[in-house]
Structure 1
Amino acid sequence: MLPFVFCGGGGANVSNTGVLKMKLSSVVVTLILTVGVSYYIYTPLPAAIEEPLKLMLLDALFRAMLQVGDLCQCLGLSHHIPWIRGTISGLETLGEMAGGQRGGVRVSDVDFDRVPVRVYEPPAAGGGEGGLRRAVMFYHGGGWALGATSKCMGSYDVLCRQMSDELNAVVVSVEYRLAPEVHFPVQYEDCLAAAKHFLEPGILGKLSVDPQRVAVSGDSAGGNLAAAVAQQISIDDSVSVKFSVQALIYPVLQGLDLNTPSHQQNHNIPILHRFIMARFWLLYLGVDTSLHPLLLSPSFLHHPSIPPSLRSHLNWTNLLPAKHIKHYKPVGMEMGSQEVMGQEGNLLPVLLDVRAAPLLAEQGVLGRTPRAYILTCEYDVLRDDGLMYTRRLQDAGVTVSSHHYDDGFHGALSFAHWPFFFDVGKRMIRGYMDWLQENL
């Protein structure tokens, strides 16, 4: 046995043996922890993604937040979403302490038709004809459940300050209500109400905004809201001022088919895994998130109540370029999926609602929307939503600038600042700003 190997006799040797055993135990525990942490952090990533270790660390942190949040909910301590919000707020506050403020931008928190908004006004007076300035109405992402600009000095606050400063624009960030406290269509209704209020000639006049130079924009779930609001404003004859451009950043545009090539290819790519997207959809719809396997089932797309004309609006075999379809095939209806048709029937009306799924809008509606900027990332489950919307808008006669990042991943634009800054995120911000500068 080990004590006899190292002991020559005497109390001192017994003592030394105890110390050795403690050190050996410490080494073993450290080794086990190191292997365990490494296993938890490691995620196979495509070679095209730069700074892979940083992305793995970010993804591990996000997954840990989700899992701890789920544990808190299981223990009855709180819903997992508020816990995650608080953790993200703390991390973003640390990032803001490291820098990123834009001096001179005036910020005020007000209400637009009872909807809280944060208004950013540039330091320069005027900018266009008659001293009028351009404007951007911005809807933040976060799966309709996370994110804000007024609650913490985070990435969205930094982005809005940068837009206001560089573009000499009035930027309005809408603090729409979030799931699980509310669910669809409340988020959409908040965003639409704020947009109608902002577009009133009197409000634009008070803010010295040129009514011919107003954009609507958003990322991820915010891109969903921006697209839906742009559609409604474009066909609402009671609104005299229309948006002049729409800028959508890796938008989520439908929840009916989570088996597109990008969902299949990127199902486990950080930071928006396929099952997480399904959970966000269910949170938005006010449905138990444990039912996320239903959304991942192909049976939704083949439900008998969906007419072929509507299904064609997301037929990616026709709408996607061949280079993005690659070797992927449509996923057939699963055996036994009829057993859950009753539950699917409860979800389908909302998933088919164009306010939740702007990709499903008719061509006549799409054709009235403003010219568009659509940013997509190769390694993002939402890639194909943006690419299909680009094609459908173009088919409807809308001018679209499609900006695709072959090394991009979901959320990258928000990670252009400490502590998780990525070069691709900085390039995305630069491209987004340049397009607005030239087209708004």
Structure 2
Amino acid sequence: MNNSKERYSEGNKCVSSLFFSRYRLVPEVCFPEQFYDAVRATKHFLQPDVLAEYSVDPSRIAISGDSAGGNLAAAVCQQLSKDEHLAIRPKLQALIYPVLQAFDFNTPSYQQNMNMPVLPRYVMINYWIDYFNGNYDLAHSLLINNHTALDVSQALSFRGHLNWTSLLPSSFKKNYKPVIQTTGKAEIIQEIPALLDVRAAPLLADNETLQLQPKTYVLTCENDVLRDDGVMYAKRLENAGVEVTLDHFDDCFHGCMIFTIWPTDFSAGIQTRNSYIKWLDENL
């Protein structure tokens, strides 16, 4: 299976958190293969006989992931929510500083943290290009949002789903201004249509899909270009009627949760990990 399973014993039963980590990677395969890997692994695990083999309570299953894994966790939950034939569904989703959109690379957090170590903006853009098997020559056009300019008709229907001026609190918006080009390059979307594919960018999902999502935990860090992806997704889910916990850390950075073992046992990693596990313990 292309995912990890964290199991929590309670008496004779276990609850399970599927944490996406071992899906196939770029450059061997590109989108949408990682999405298919995660969906296949999840549907396999959710079969009653497989759950019984692992002594998992089918009513207490969470899907989780961090960063790119958070992207897949959100995308898989959306896919499962539309599967009418699925008998067993996840109770929760838990997204750790997830990457959720390639529509706007000038949200306040992208502007504020554009040169932040671990994940500067240009690296995140290159990761998207790698994921879609695109051309690095497009990086600058993506950086200035040429791919979602007002004259790019394919992007118009998604603009309201990612309006950070209404989805972010004022403490995050600060004095940053939206970067919306009047004229852009529609050929970018023609070359890489996956930029607007909801399976790659769960934040672009419609409200009908969001209404079907399970109880959700979203962890975000202030010093992270992806901060606003998570905050906006939490707000859109909340607006759709989903119970959401937004767990924001003012003094933490992208990827910090992995730094929990000496000699990199950073307080940022320990506090985010403990908060995440506490939420799972209380809700799963």
Same fold judged by TM-score > 0.5? yes
Per-residue deviation, residues 316-355 of structure 1 (Å, max 9, x unmatched): 0111111100000011317xx64x44234312x2111110
Which residue does the alignment assign to 1:127?
Answer: 10
Q: Which runs of 5+ in 2 are unaligned?
A: none
Provide the residue aligned with 2:233 in structure 1: 389
Q: Tell me which residue corresponds to 1:430.
A: 274
- Cα distance in 2 for partners of 1:322, 1:118 equals 37
User: Is 1:139–2:20 an aligned residue pair?
Assistant: yes
What's 2:162 paired with? 314
Q: Are 1:294 and 1:344, in contact at CA under 8 Å, matched by a contact in 2? A: no
How many Å separate the matches in 1 of 2:247 and 2:115?
23
- Residue 305 (1) aligns with residue 153 (2): yes
Return the index of the structure with the highest Cα Rg.
1
Aligned residues of 2:3 and 2:19 also touching (Cα < 8 A): no
For structure 1, the residue ranges without an aligned partner over 5 or more in a row are 1-111, 141-174
**What's the CA shift string for 1:82-129, capped at 9, x where partnerless?**
xxxxxxxxxxxxxxxxxxxxxxxxxxxxxx4xxx4555667xxx515x
Q: Which residue of 1 aligns with 2:216?
A: 372
Q: Percent identity?
A: 48
Higher helix share: 1
Instruction: Give the secondary structure class of the aligned counterpart of 1:306.
Output: helix
- Count of residues in Structure 1 that have an aligned counterpart in Structure 2: 283
Matches within 5 A, 1:210-249: 210-249=57-96
Give SS of 1:381's match: coil
Distance of 1:332 and 1:233 partners within structure 2: 33
Choose the corresponding residue for 1:266, options 110, 113, 126. Answer: 113
Instruction: With the length of structure 1 as denominator, give the TM-score of the two structures.
Output: 0.62
**Aligned structure 1 segments of 4 or more residues deviating by more than 6 angstroms:** none
Measured at CA, do residues 323 and 176 of structure 1 come closer, stay the same or move farther in structure 2, by a change above 3 Å?
same
Aligned-residue Cα RMSD (Å) equals 1.6
> Does residue 333 of structure 1 match 2:181?
yes
Matches within 5 A, 1:26-425: 112=1, 116-119=2-5, 126-128=9-11, 131-140=12-21, 175-302=22-149, 303-306=151-154, 308-333=156-181, 338=184, 340-347=185-192, 349-425=193-269
Name the SS of the counterpart of 1:398 in structure 2.
coil
Residue correspondence of structure 1 range 20-31 to structure 2 within 5 A: none
Query: RCO (CA 8 Å, sep 6+): is it higher in 1 or 2?
Result: 2
Taking the aligned partners of 1:197 and 1:307, their CA distance within structure 2 comes to 35
TM norm structure 2: 0.95
